[in-house]
Amino acid sequence: MWKILKVLGGLVIVLSLAACGVEDSAADPEAKPYVFIEGENVYAATNSILGVGKDDSNLKLITKYAGANNQAELQTMLAEGKAVLVDEGMPITLIQLGGTSTKIKLTETGDVGWVPSEVVSKN
């Protein structure tokens, strides 16, 4: 239960920053942004929860339940296989890039689904 609370806190922060359009002000203004390529192997930048499925409907439910701090529904989604925990640094493959959500495959388990786009990292 503690791990889910920790992950949910990170998920809410990631989603809140994405909604506000917050950018990293410490980034080098001269640096060119990294361009991700579909099919590329990358990593999870932070702990998150994967919404399993062909579309992002389970991720939308995760976001709704996390925002309402509804642990019971999140536990149910995990138990039913509609959600999977993603650990920081976990290797992933990009399947479909999106503005706010990205479809990925977890390299270790083969689970496919959607995470907030900010979860994807080149390192």
Q: Where is mean pLDDT largest: 2-11, 22-31, 80-89?
A: 80-89
**Domain assignment of residue 45, given as a range:** 2-21+35-121
- Collect all residues with Cβ–Cβ distance below 8 Å to 41 and sequence separation of at least 6: 91, 92, 93, 107
Is 29 within a domain?
A: no
Is 51 within a domain?
A: yes
pTM reported for the whole predicted model: 0.74
Domain holding 90: CATH number?
Answer: 2.30.30.40
Is 112 within a domain?
A: yes
Is 30 within a domain?
A: no
Is 28 within a domain?
A: no
Q: What is the mean pLDDT of the chain?
A: 84
Could you tell me if 42 and 17 are in contact, meaning their C-beta atoms sit under 8 angstroms apart?
Answer: no
Q: What is the pLDDT of residues 70-103, one digit of tens each?
A: 999 999 999 999 999 999 999 999 999 988 999 9
Report the number of distinct structural domains present in the chain: 1
Is 87 within a domain?
A: yes
Strand order in the sheet with 101-106: 83-86, 48-52, 112-116, 101-106, 91-96, 41-44, 120-121
Mean pLDDT (whole number) for 51-67: 96
Is 27 within a domain?
A: no
